[in-house]
Amino acid sequence: MLRRSNPIRFAVVAGLMFFMHATAGNVADAQSAKAGAEFTTGSSDPLIEFVNLQIRQTWEDNELKPSPSANDAEWIRRVYLDVIGRIPDADEVAAFLEDSDKTKRSKKIDELLANPDYVRNWTEIWTNLLIGRNTPDRTSRSGMRKFLRESFARNRPWNEIVYDLVTAEGHYEENGAVNFILAQLQGNVNNEDYHVEATAKLTRILLGMQVQCTQCHNHPFNEWKQNQFWEFNSFLRQTRRIDHDKYDPESGQDVDDYSELVFRQFGGPVYYEMRNGLVQVAYPKYLESEVSPDAPNRREELGKLMAHDDPSHTVAKAMVNRTWSHFMGYGFTRPVDDMGPHNPASHPELLDRLSDEFVKSGYDVKQLVKWICNTEAYNLTSKYNSDNDFDNPSAGEVPLFSHMYVKTMNAEQLYDSLLVATNADQSGAGNFQQAQQQRQRWLQDFLRIFGGNDEDEPTLFSGSIPQALLMMNGPLVEKAISAEKGSYLYSVLSNPRFRSDNSRIQALFVSALGRFPTRHEQSQLSGAIKRYPKKLTAFQDLYWALLNSNEFIVNH
């Protein structure tokens, strides 16, 4: 068990001084009034101005004043977490804060999209969405990652990625796209429920439609009928998984070898039972497009229809809405994957225009990210004021995007950010293999305790006791503040540049929180450190408090 000399005092300090972004309504109205007129990231794309005008109109309609733009320290931490999945290191923060180029935000967005960590981050995000954090039996997580990694590295058009996910067949590692549907096919292929989960997942993730609500009955609030679920379901009936085993001479038993997704002969309609006991038939139909039940490969036909998209751009809208939610904390609908007439978008014209432009761009995911990150709304501070404190979607209100909504880091972001801030994986490390094994053990701990439900809203956080204990006394945090050679704390305490207590405090703040301490924080902490009998213990306790603060664990 890690022992802190006075953890209670620093925990209190952390609670009082850190992370005022979500709670302090102390932004001056005069500052707020400047938000709209003076904002720019340096991008001249006319679509961004359209987005800004649409959002500003919402502010006017609701008689609120937006928060001002985030300062550079707040913004760079946010954009790093959202685009590449980690906080910036101390050198990256310092370089950005010192840059006087008025277009540096737009340039930084482009730079991050070219960073290899962008591919790694978006591969992990979509792997979790498509097959979950807990990999289903006989499903290849490495195969799924390989497919997504290659797709995002090449910036393949999103509609092409969707086509592959819908139509793929073959070995689960040789054609990693098969794992999306493969993960949902469990049980006996002759069971009528065999394709139900795949139907629900495909429509929800790729089309933003929760048609599983109509599996057993007509939707009570709109025109969606029970037959629509089974019309989608009929596309997948020509699909099955085959699990292959191999003989293990050491155990003398058959063990898992590989799985594959294969074509299965199936013709005619799908039969389903209504609540009144009547049996109905459903033929393959994608929205308004009917497909012949005699089509040789129905899933191929579905993939073509989705890839070419319908006049309403359903596939594009689902991606735009989900991507907007990733960056802004909330989508245009809530939940983000339940789009339809029963759940109107908060900004319908904006969603339509972004979706149209996304299609015109060739389903360019990087371009979509650029548009969103360059908007005025994305660049606002998370501090709210007396004129926009009611803009609170967590309380059930429609999001107005008048300030940035706070998002809790996911497990992967938190893990990678701890390593970036502390160099814990280099602290006292032996050879490369030992360091990699240590990293893997830590990551498994984080995924187990912080992973949560794959379908949780990004703004929700359980704050459980195991999560708190892992952050306070876990082996990764213990290593992070050990001050062994190779750690960031060691480099601060041994570097001649940081001889004074104040300079060391500032270095730890920049590394952990991406900002310099306020005058009040600097004064209070400098005095507290002087009262410690051992300087090393004092800075270890300070770093521990910073890493356990709300400000570190959230993306604001």
pTM of the complete model: 0.89
Confidence at residue 245, expressed as pLDDT on a 0 to 100 scale = 93
Helices (H), 361-462: 365-373, 411-422, 432-450
476 and 445 Cβ atoms separated by less than 8 Å: yes
For the chain, give every domain's residue range. 7-21+408-555, 139-145+157-308
With CA atoms as reference, report the closest residue to 482 among 545, 422, 438: 422
DSSP string, 227-255: HHHHHHHHHTTTEEEEEEEEEETTTTEEE
With CA atoms as reference, report the closest residue to 527 among 499, 494, 501, 503: 501
Q: 277 φ, ψ to 5°?
A: 95, -10
Instruction: Give CA separation, 478 vs 367, 541, 547, in Å.
Output: 41, 11, 11
- Residue 451 DSSP SS3: coil
Confidence at residue 104, expressed as pLDDT on a 0 to 100 scale = 97
Per-position pLDDT tens, the chain of length 556: 344 445 434 443 444 344 333 333 333 333 333 444 467 898 989 999 999 999 999 999 999 999 999 999 999 999 999 999 999 999 999 999 999 999 999 999 999 999 999 999 999 999 999 999 889 999 999 999 999 999 999 999 999 999 999 999 999 999 999 999 999 998 887 777 888 899 999 999 999 998 655 544 444 445 555 678 889 999 999 999 999 999 989 888 988 999 999 999 988 888 877 776 787 888 899 988 999 988 999 999 999 999 997 788 999 999 999 999 999 999 999 999 999 888 899 999 999 999 999 999 999 999 999 999 999 999 999 999 999 999 999 898 999 999 999 998 888 898 889 889 988 777 555 555 555 566 667 777 767 766 655 554 444 445 666 666 667 767 777 877 888 888 899 999 999 889 899 999 999 999 999 999 999 999 999 999 999 888 899 999 999 999 988 899 899 9
